[in-house]
Amino acid sequence: MTLEQEINESNQYYLAHEIAVIHKKPTPIQIVKVDYPKRSAAVIREAYFRQASTTDYNGIYRGRYIDFDAKETKEKTRFPLDNFHQHQVEHMRSCLKQGGICFGLIKFVTLDQLYLLKATDLIEYWDAQEDAGGRKSIPLTAFETHAIPIKYSLNPIIAYLDAVDQLI
């Protein structure tokens, strides 16, 4: 199961149990060409992203706005910053200025380790890479010391709101 599927299932659990309302944001696309082999079976043949999307998920938890992105890496010792895009980091920066709770859920696939990385920490590493000789990745040791580890469970499969509680 992919990280996105696991988060979606967790969000369904949170919604069903009236804990939080968090959804995956749809990616805005512009449809260019559609084939209609049958009236009830339209097939999109060509489409483009209308604009760069922001983060993957947003919603509300305990009266607070939540906004986050989910990323996976097969790296064992670091998380490459190029997994994020400038517009995503800027979006998080803007949400933080408005009092939102922003973070990244980062999974080290090979190690089977999942972390909640505060957006402020992500932004610090992001900005530092612009400096001469700045790192282009976040070392695993930084996750081990500064991020919040998330353990898998039965329901929800990813109890990331327990980690969010530590941010609030």
Q: If DSSP states are collapsed to H, E and C, what string results for 28-63?
A: CEEEEEEECCCCCCCEEEEEEECCCCCCCEEEEECC
Residue 85 carries which DSSP code?
A: -
69 among the known binding-site residues? yes
Q: Is 82 annotated as a binding residue?
A: no
- Show the CA angle centred on residue 21, arms to residues 19 and 26, nearest 5°: 150
CA angle 114, 119, 120 (to 5 degrees): 125
67 annotated to bind ligand: no
Which residue positions form the known binding site for Mg(2+)? 54, 56, 69, 88
Binding-site residue positions: 54, 56, 69, 88
